[in-house]
Amino acid sequence: MKNSKSKFRAFWNNFIMDKDLKAGLIAKNLHRLAQLEQILFTFGLIMTLVTLIRYGSDVKNHLIELFYYLAYIVTSVHVLLVAIHTVHHPEWPVWRRNQPTYIGIFEVLVLSIIVLFSSSNPISPYTVYTNVCIIAIVMLSVEPIFFIPLLFLFSFIIIHRLWDQGNAYMALNILLTTIVISALSLYKWNSLIKEFRLEKIRDNHVEAIEKEIELAAFVQESFSKRKMPDLKDFDIAYYSKAMAGVSGDMYDFYTDDEILEGAGIFDVSGHGISSGLVTMLVRNIFQQEFHQNEDKALYEVMEIIDKRIRVEKRNIENYLTGILLRIKGSKIEIVNAGHPCPILYRKESGECNYFDEKRKFSSTVIGLSSIESFFQETTFEMKSGDEIILFTDGIKEAMNAAHDEYGNSRFLESVKNAVQQDFDKQIPSVLSDMGHFTENADQSDDITIVIIRKK
């Protein structure tokens, strides 16, 4: 007994709603109402034409039937006008905003009464009444507190009329139909509220995740954002944009006061929060090991970094590609760990090409435990005006609406044009070219560009 009471109480509690929940259900009802209007209008229009064609010159003897179908059209238009008026007044209380639903049901039920008192065919009111109830349950899910009393009121009028006409069998059928549909209304409304509450919980969960991503992006930006000192021998320009929220790209500069000692650009595999967290984990590792191992070869520094990352990220599967530079005057040491080749611009000759395009000095990726790591370095000289352009693969893999990639060739041509411009205009020029090609389509990957120029 207690178990039955608790089940009934839980069932009944589903009908107790706060204003936000009821407002949301009304919004859904308005959508269903638009479907009902289409059904009423289409049905009324078709049956009006059918009646006119069917009876032709004898239509005067079937005016009740004709007016009945015309009333469907009038009702659909009336409900539409009320709904439009309601949409423009979101400040109205809940009951008033639900007026279109009430009016739609009330007017269609009234039609069944009119047919009952004006038609000699007793099957007409029962058919109309049943159709109206089914439409109300399926299309509108009207609140039982409104729908059931209204249903029983009209049922009583119809049953009383049929009883007076001596049609007790039809009257009992109407009563049974009313009881069944009232029960269906309760369960339909109960299910609708449960579904809406689950949607609300899901939406709140999604909103909470989005806020966490925003917070993670803010923390990541705080980690990477630092004021660069005025450098003695180099100019630096950089740009980075996450595909969504947190970025898996990372760039860093290693300085000693006004001296640029090195730089790095890295791309963590995957997307989202996990790759973004890895960038924050490994940033300090690169900083510490770069400065603490100045006496070691750069490939050895990368080996130390790789081993440490493997240990500290534990079971996290993300790995990194990247380029690490160490600068000693005009001499640049470079280790490329599976990353896209940088572009090297020579001011004196005007040449602008991918550096080590044949991957002679390419190394394995960083932090991948399933392979044996191997790193090697090479060197090159930079003279005054020379530039090295580092970037992540989000640039060359950017696509347009036809799913064509921007590609290495287009990017190289863009860089060749950009290096002829003032230094502060070069990255905007490259981004403009890429945006023109992709027609500003959504990014499929994080994008980062770093340009270092020798003064």
pLDDT per residue over 236-269, tens digit each? 999 988 776 677 788 899 998 889 999 999 998 8
Same domain, 248 and 326: yes
Domain limits for position 174? 2-207
CA distances to 10, 33, 92, 195, 391 from 19, in Å: 20, 20, 12, 16, 52
Same domain, 243 and 364: yes
Per-residue b or e along 433-449, where b marks 16 or more CB atoms closer than 10 Å to that residue's CB = bbeebbeeeebebbbbb
Question: What pLDDT does residue 203 have?
Answer: 75
Same domain, 350 and 448: yes
Could you tell me if residue 218 is inside a domain? no
Question: What pLDDT does residue 449 have?
Answer: 94
Name the stretches of the chain with pLDDT < 50: none
Question: What pLDDT does residue 244 have?
Answer: 67
Question: Residue 448: enclosing H or E segment and its boundaries?
Answer: strand 447-454
* CATH code for the domain of 384: 3.60.40.10
Question: What pLDDT does residue 279 have?
Answer: 80
Residue with tokens 């009393």: 149
Same domain, 172 and 263: no
Could you tell me if residue 214 is inside a domain? no
Could you tell me if residue 213 is inside a domain? no
Rounded to the nearest angstrom, the gap between the alpha carbon of residue 52 and the centroid of all alpha carbons in its chain is 51
Same domain, 295 and 378: yes
Same domain, 95 and 234: no
Question: Residue 390: enclosing H or E segment and its boundaries?
Answer: strand 387-391
For 318-348, how does the pLDDT look when each residue is reduced to its tens digit (9 = 90+)? 889 999 999 998 999 999 999 999 999 999 9
Same domain, 198 and 327: no
Question: What pLDDT does residue 200 have?
Answer: 77
Same domain, 202 and 272: no
Question: What pLDDT does residue 120 have?
Answer: 64
Domain count, the chain: 2
Distance CA 48, CA 68 (A): 9
